[in-house]
Structure 1
């Protein structure tokens, strides 16, 4: 089959590499245009573009796909199948109609739970015990298409969005190759998603990452993991943003946001219920440090208050 691959984020790279390793013919790769990145804000290629160029595959970077030209340019590749993984652009019906076998999507949740842009972060924030990946036939809805294959994955107590995303990317790549092989044999069967259990994984807003000390410590510990490695949970300390890269739940008591203790193990902060020990911290303009390293050059005094987010 002629396969066109569409992806941008690092999550998509294992799927592209798995298709190539299995001997499938990827005739072109679509990825988002280069974006400014890093402190110098220089244009940088996506992870998928880098992988495609290394493999000698043609790369296309249209800024949008809602034009007649986009559909005709895709049709010129004579694709049998379009594979979409963490692409970041909406595919209109005219694009989905081009490939003979339609479009497959690798989605990082057990559909219909957590349809949308941030399924991994939302699963962590909600305290889900497990998640997984689904290989789905794309339709005009938002992650509503029938599912060919689902693979389950437990969420570990220490999982961050980064560690969980890495495992799901590998799991999704394996499942994708299984479905593509079934499509080639003509044995693939997609089943409609169940009507019950659907929920939406909205895109992460950086403002969500501000820790609300009025919340229970268990909720905030999940937020620290869900927002790691990006955008990173944060709070305000002495008027400056203090990012949090690691935390654990304790049973301390005090006014929400009050520092209860500060030492080598971490900075303990009172929450609406229990307390949170901050074990990795990053000051503005600095790098992430262990609490011991962070406090070697700074003093955080017991009794200090970390700011609460504004009401509403």
Structure 2
């Protein structure tokens, strides 16, 4: 079977690795254009492109796929490449571009999406983050037959994964990426016999894109909610609070008993009062410094009981 692959970050690259290891022919890879990254802001290829180049697979990097849009020339070139690839199916994982109908219709068996949630819960851009933030007990991966909607297509396969009490987005991402790789191989191997199940109308939620502004910690929230947000926003964008005019990154915390004015340091540790309960901050980072245990932070900048963190 000839499988065109479309994806960009490491989550997708792991799926591409699995497809290649299973012996499928991949005649073409689509991925986002190279982006500036790092201190020198040099152009850097996506994780998927790096894997494709290493495997000798042709790569297309259109800026858009609408044949009548701003990037019509890119879209036309991508269309030629897709037609030449003569694909039985396209696998899509965290690609980053909306696929217009002409793309969905090009492969003989359409496009299969690897989505990191138990659809219809957490459609959208950030399903892993939002599942942790919401306190979900489990998540998983859904293989979906794509249609023109936003993660609205029929479900083909689903696998569940428990969310552990100490999971960060980074940690859960890696487990779901491995799960997605194995599940898409299973789907491709049985593609002619898979049953399509429409998504239920009940239980639809949207995982909106993570914005940097969300990093500001609102100490009026319950400590348990803040703790989940810290794990959900690790590695990006983290949690940010202000202490005596200095921005401090808060990476991890533990929920403890305690009360006081929201943001007030009520015990050594430091232990910070929240809207309900308190949070012992266990991993911190000063501006320009490295993230590390709170004990190392306190050696450089002691925090006294009575000081107050602001949003």
Which of the five TM-score ranges fits, normalised by the shorter chain?
over 0.9
Alignment equivalent of 2:280, drawn from 252, 277, 282: 277
| Residue in structure 2 matched with residue 215 of structure 1 by the alignment | 221
Task: Point out where structure 2 has 5 or more consecutive residues left out of the alignment.
Answer: 68-74
Any idea what the Cα deviations from partners look like across 1:169-198, whole Å, max 9, x if unmatched? 111111100000011xx2122211111111
How far apart are the structure 2 equivalents of 1:42 and 1:299? 38
How far apart are the structure 2 equivalents of 1:257 and 1:245? 16
How far apart are the structure 1 equivalents of 2:234 and 2:31? 24
**Equivalences for 1:149-168 in 2 at 5 Å?**
149-168=157-176
How far apart are the structure 2 equivalents of 1:241 and 1:254? 22
Please, what TM-score do these two structures have when normalized by structure 1?
Answer: 0.95
| Residue in structure 2 matched with residue 50 of structure 1 by the alignment | 50
CA apart distance, 1:21: 0.5
Alignment equivalent of 1:232, drawn from 238, 253, 256: 238
| Residue in structure 1 matched with residue 249 of structure 2 by the alignment | 243
How far apart are the structure 2 equivalents of 1:242 and 1:249? 19
How far apart are the structure 2 equivalents of 1:43 and 1:232? 25
CA apart distance, 1:289: 1.1
CA apart distance, 1:270: 0.5
1:177 aligns with 2:177: no
CA apart distance, 1:38: 1.4
| Residue in structure 1 matched with residue 7 of structure 2 by the alignment | 7
How far apart are the structure 2 equivalents of 1:56 and 1:5? 14
How far apart are the structure 2 equivalents of 1:14 and 1:198? 27
My pick for the range that moved more, 29-38 or 137-146, is 29-38
| Residue in structure 2 matched with residue 71 of structure 1 by the alignment | 79
Task: Point out where structure 1 has 5 or more consecutive residues left out of the alignment.
Answer: none
Any idea what the Cα deviations from partners look like across 1:78-113, whole Å, max 9, x if unmatched? 111110001111111111111110000000000000
How many residues align? The count is 303
| Residue in structure 1 matched with residue 70 of structure 2 by the alignment | none
CA apart distance, 1:20: 0.5
